[in-house]
Amino acid sequence: MTDEATVFVPGHITGFFTISEDDDPTKAGSQGAGLALSDGVTVTVRAADERAVYLDDTSIEVESVDRVLDALNADVLVDAESDLPLGAGFGVSGALALGAAIATNRVLDRGLSENELITIAHGAEVQAGTGLGDVVAQAKGGIPIRLEPGGPQHNMLDAVPSRARVEYLHYDELSTESVLDERGEQLNSAGEKALSLLVQEPTLSSFIYASRGFAREAELLTPRVATVIDDVSDAGGQASMAMLGETVFALGSGLSDAGYEPESCSTYPAGAVFQ
Amino acid sequence: MTDEATVFVPGHITGFFTISEDDDPTKAGSQGAGLALSDGVTVTVRAADERAVYLDDTSIEVESVDRVLDALNADVLVDAESDLPLGAGFGVSGALALGAAIATNRVLDRGLSENELITIAHGAEVQAGTGLGDVVAQAKGGIPIRLEPGGPQHNMLDAVPSRARVEYLHYDELSTESVLDERGEQLNSAGEKALSLLVQEPTLSSFIYASRGFAREAELLTPRVATVIDDVSDAGGQASMAMLGETVFALGSGLSDAGYEPESCSTYPAGAVFQ
């Protein structure tokens, strides 16, 4: 047993996705593709007598983290620092859940495997209604393609073999749960089309082209997101919308070239990493 | 198309393994577990009119690389630099094959996915008789457990959720092919036992304990390797033998503490990474 453990979990921008419901949360999830980011969440877990969760020094309640700690029968202190805003399409809740699972397993010597910990975090996110595919993508890193939904025992992952600088601009939150409720069918048809395009040519250009088509067809673009994406295109770049937040992301210097002042990072080649 | 692409592929020490033969090289392979290493092979591929392969500025023939380039219909220059010796149980031929596949795909715009490139490199290694499980482990990074053999379409991977400093000491080469021919059945029985131990408790201690048991039961220890492992144990550390080379690896400072002067690196959390 160690007193504390710290894990970095990459952020994750989803470009497009489908929704697969299932009573078994390890089978439920989504297909789709996204970018694991070098901006992410650093999660430190310390042995403690009472459970507490902090994000950037503020006490918070995150249902997926609570579910992870329940599954691990763990009363620990979870102290997280994030480069990214919560609820903005960067997979912060998924990162908290996965980071808490991996670090708690270490601190309390739970003896679980990586897949078991990913399964717990994935199931917690699904049951909390805060994410369907972030956790498995964040555990893989890179530019993951989720060919089949679910946790590690059921899904099938591939990836775009590439690496890129990424810029992003965040305006506002969008509620994952309410969008999923309203747009289910439309999303799935647009998501399947996007996945089929990317599988035919698994490159970064295809990824962002397919993502833009998905956002348009699923009618998820807000007016200001649509304007920014058009501005990036006019400046010769490639951008789309992060699912689900009022957030635009671009490859390379797409947003800067269009005159915006974005945050920047890059794709992160690894999954969750002990610090 | 770009003129050149460079990929770092981690080295890989196999602690224990089984052999699964199959006429289909994407199904053949091995179960087992190992350590992906921060010491590895940096592979640069350049567009060229004729095929040539260099390792540390020396022209070499590596059958698995040739098979990869055949599969990609590619005449390119492969220029590799390695931190690790070839034929010593560090997965250098697997790293060359995987790095050549990923970098060539980029340089020649072949438009293949990560799984497709891993499949090509895995199959090339199997057919060349130079490796059964290194490529899929090197593509994953970390401390991979190969629960089921084969390439990405057929295998099942898990991992020990941990990270470690690694020391190693290399004496001599061992021929993978001749050992596999002589020891098939003995290896499989010892390998399955080791895997079952590790799956019960997927920790670093279990990994090295299971690896040591495997090396002993499969009668693979050479006298000097056995002596070094005993010396590390006597000094309170944990060591085993890299499969397949006359090479000892230890966790933490195990070899230094026993008075040896080893090379050192750490586990590498990512798979193959574009530089």
User: Number of residue pairs across A and B with CB atoms under 8 Å?
Assistant: 75
Are B158 and A113 in contact (CB < 8 Å)?
yes
Question: Which of B1, B40, B78, B33 is closest to B211 using CA atoms?
Answer: B33
Report whether CATH 3.40.1550.20 matches the domain A165-266: no
Of A102, A105, A161, the CB nearest to B114: A161
Residues 215-234 of B with CB under 8 A from A: none
Query: Which range is least confidently modeled, A84-93, A159-168, A256-265, B43-52?
Result: A84-93
pLDDT, mean of residues B238-265: 96
Nearest CA distance, A115 vs chain B (angstrom): 6
Please, what is the average pLDDT of chain A? 95
> What is the pLDDT at residue A211?
98
Of B117, B199, B269, the CB nearest to A161: B117
The answer on pLDDT for B18 being more than 80 is yes
Of A114, A203, A270, the CB nearest to B111: A203
More confident residue, B177 or B77: B77
- What three-state secondary structure class fits B82? strand
pLDDT, mean of residues B236-251: 95
The rounded percent of chain A whose pLDDT value lies above 70 is 97
Contact in structure between B155 and B136 (CB atoms under 8 Å): yes
CA dihedral (B161, B167, B172, B174) in degrees, to 10, reads: -10
Residue of A nearest to B104 (CA): A161
Of A105, A201, A269, the CB nearest to B111: A201
Asked if the C-beta of B2 comes within 8 angstroms of chain A's C-beta atoms, the answer is no
pLDDT, mean of residues A94-99: 98
The domain limits of chain B are 4-159, 165-266
Q: What is the DSSP letter of A150?
A: S
- Pairing of β B76-82 and β B52-55: parallel
Instruction: Write down the ipTM of this complex.
Output: 0.94
Nearest CA distance, A223 vs chain B (angstrom): 34
Question: Over the stretch B163-212, which tens digit does the pLDDT of each residue have?
Answer: 999 999 999 877 666 776 777 788 999 999 999 999 999 999 999 999 99
> What is the pLDDT at residue B249?
98
Q: Three-state secondary structure along B83-116?
A: CCCCCCCCCHHHHHHHHHHHHHHHHCCCCCCHHH
Q: Kind and range of the H or E element at B32?
A: strand B32-47
Residues 54-93 of A with CB under 8 A from B: none
CATH architecture of A4-159: 2-Layer Sandwich (3.30)
> What is the pLDDT at residue B181?
72
Same fold, B4-159 and B165-266: no
pLDDT band at A72 (very low <50, low <70, confident <90, very high): very high
* Amino acid in position A169: L
